[in-house]
């Protein structure tokens, strides 16, 4: 009788185990079907291209040793506050005039790009703010990179005041579209970004997850700009090619693995 009782108990336990396992698998499948678009973030040696990347047409925008290929907006040189530190492009904010960094300023690529995939890594200090701005123009009528170029926000959401504002948080298409399904690494840790711009269609990816998409040729885009802080800037969001900019917002920020592939 004792053996029969043990056998029945074991059978019940096994049935409960398989039942629970099946339920968990079903839940996981259901959740996976609703997951956002993701991709694997492949890590390689900093500021290098794999053979596969080279064959695919990727090009480094930062060699890890110099600031070659970058300059200040509407300038032929780059401010001394933009330094190379341990294989990173770093904004040294130790000297300031008010909130502005002495010898800093926004920097842009020497080249103009259209229809491309941009990939890079960034990290920030606690409470910091910065950004990646693209399609930047340098006409005489423009004094700042953000008067023409949309921005992928870089921010410490938890400690910077902009973290309390919709569409101003990390990864957002600044003041236009709030990112969704974000995976964010905290200050002091690297975050991986991919920005795709192709025929006016743009995507923001953060740590392997697509968080923003937009079509700059659509009526929806026109409405977004008209309802934003850029509404009175006639050049904003009108261009689908231009320079790529890294923002000096007065806070320490580091960049590395900056690379681009023309589509």
CA dist 170 and 198 (Å) reads: 22
Residues 2 and 116 in one domain: no
The verdict on 129 and 19 lying in the same domain is no
C-alpha distances out from residue 204 to 2, 134, 173, 175, Å: 64, 12, 8, 14
Q: What is the pLDDT of residue 110?
A: 98
Residue 74 has pLDDT above 90, yes or no: yes
Q: How many angstroms separate the Cα of 195 from the Cα of each of 4, 57, 192, 257?
A: 65, 16, 10, 14
Q: Are residues 192 and 127 in the same domain?
A: yes
Question: Residues 80, 14: one domain?
Answer: no
> Residues 2-20: pLDDT tens digits?
443 444 344 444 443 333 3
Residues 74-100 have a mean pLDDT of 96
**What are the phi and psi torsion angles at 174 (to 5°)?**
-50, 125
3-state secondary structure of 223: helix
93 touches 101 (CB < 8 A):
yes
Domain that holds residue 13: 1-35
- Confidence at 35, pLDDT banded by 50, 70, 90: low
Q: Give me the pLDDT at residue 42, please.
A: 63
140 & 116 share domain: yes
| 154/241 same-domain check | yes
The DSSP output letter for 185 is P
Element (H, E) at 135: strand 129-136
pLDDT, residue 37, reads 83
Q: Which of 65, 113, 64 is nearest to 256 (CA)?
A: 64
Residues 240, 246, 248, 254: what is their CA dihedral angle, to the nearest 10 degrees?
160
Residues 204 and 240 in one domain: yes
Same domain, 15 and 97: no
What is the CB neighbour count within 10 angstroms for residue 116?
A: 18
Give which of 105, 107, 103, 99 is closest to 127, Cα–Cα: 99
Distance (Å, rounded) from C-alpha 188 to C-alpha 85?
A: 15
Q: Which residue has the tokens 């695919």?
A: 56
Residues 28, 115, single domain; the answer is: no
Closest by Cα among 175, 177, 184 to 203: 177
Q: What would the mean pLDDT of 67-96 be, rounded to a whole number?
A: 98
Residues 95, 205, single domain; the answer is yes
pLDDT at 20: 39
Same-domain pairing of 126 and 52: yes
Q: Could you say which DSSP state residue 75 is in?
A: S
């Amino acid at each position: 009788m004792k053996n029969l009782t043990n056998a029945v108990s074991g059978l019940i336990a096994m049935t409960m185990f398989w039942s629970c396992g099946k339920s968990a698998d079903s839940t996981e499948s259901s959740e996976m079907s609703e997951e956002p678009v993701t991709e694997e973030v492949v890590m390689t040696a900093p500021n290098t291209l794999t053979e596969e990347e080279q064959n695919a047409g990727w090009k480094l925008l930062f060699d890890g040793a110099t600031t070659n290929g970058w300059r200040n907006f509407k300038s032929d040189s780059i401010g001394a506050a933009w330094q190379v530190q341990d294989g990173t492009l770093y904004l040294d904010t130790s000297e300031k005039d008010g909130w502005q960094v002495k010898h800093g300023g926004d920097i842009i690529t020497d080249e103009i790009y259209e229809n491309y995939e941009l990939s890079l890594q960034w990290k920030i200090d606690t409470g910091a703010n910065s950004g990646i701005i693209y399609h930047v123009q340098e006409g005489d009528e423009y004094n700042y990179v953000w008067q023409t170029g949309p921005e992928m926000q870089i921010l410490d959401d938890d400690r910077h005041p902009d973290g309390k504002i919709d569409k101003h948080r990390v990864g957002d298409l600044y003041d236009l579209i709030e990112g969704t399904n974000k995976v964010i690494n905290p200050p002091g840790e690297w975050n991986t970004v991919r920005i795709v711009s192709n025929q006016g269609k743009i995507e923001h990816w953060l740590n392997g997850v697509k968080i923003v998409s937009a079509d700059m040729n659509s009526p929806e885009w026109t409405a977004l700009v008209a309802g934003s802080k850029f509404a009175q800037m006639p050049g904003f969001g009108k261009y689908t090619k231009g320079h790529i900019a890294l923002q000096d917002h007065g806070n320490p920020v580091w960049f590395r693995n900056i690379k681009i592939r023309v589509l």
